Structure 1
Amino acid sequence: MTMIHKFSLMGTNIVVDVNSGAVHVVDDITFDILDYYKDCRADEIKNKLICKYSADEIEEALKEIESLRADGLIYSEDPYKEYIPSMNRKSVVKALCLHISHDCNLRCKYCFASTGNFGGQRSMMSRKWAKKPLIF
């Protein structure tokens, strides 16, 4: 399964290719095209975005995406798919990160986590919840 994650952070468009681990900072047009890239032909994408971008801009961005795809840096194939016994499942968890602390003792004014409280109440994950993902 090929998969990407797209998000914007403080005005920066970021695209992560899940299987290769490649991280891309992209312009607005590429970010918009990726909404349609897997499901639409190039002419359909142009029709959808022509009111926002010129045809030349769309074509150039499509070529750049195709180049990344040819290099295995976006929409790359899952290198582990032959090792997974059943591909009938929708998805498989390959990694899990637990956010165990909703607190930080540094209190940096520039911090993305609002000086350590992540915009909410400071707290720690309970031992009970921390153990839940470990039970198979």
Structure 2
Amino acid sequence: MIVLNCPLVPYNNLSCVVNRARHIAGFIKIIGAVRNVEDERSAKAAHERVIVNNIETYHQVSEVVNVISEIATKTNLLVLNAAIEAARAGAAGRGGGSVVAEEVKKLADPTQSATSRIKKMLD
């Protein structure tokens, strides 16, 4: 504790008033520094919460992309199987079955491409 050689009341001595004002200003600076440290800790905690949230979101997006990728892969296998079955059926199988297979493939290819791009962004 700082001891001043000035009476508490009244402030008749100008040097005592100035001296007390300087000490009070010093205390205010200390209080400000403590607040800055507390603000810094609070900002750091908020930043860490954002990072944790982003990591959780990343994992969720990654899981969804994996599911979509698996669907696209399985769809391509179905297209391949449909094409094989259409070839086995001969001329009769080249009609509706092969058209459906081709249309499904048109849907699966962009899906697979999009999931690959998303995976690259996440890595």
Q: Sort the TM-score into its range (normalised by shorter chain).
A: under 0.3
Which structure dedicates a bigger proportion of its chain to helix?
2
Which structure has the higher relative contact order (CA within 8 Å, separation 6+)? Answer: 2
Which structure dedicates a bigger proportion of its chain to strand?
1
Structure having the higher Rg: 2
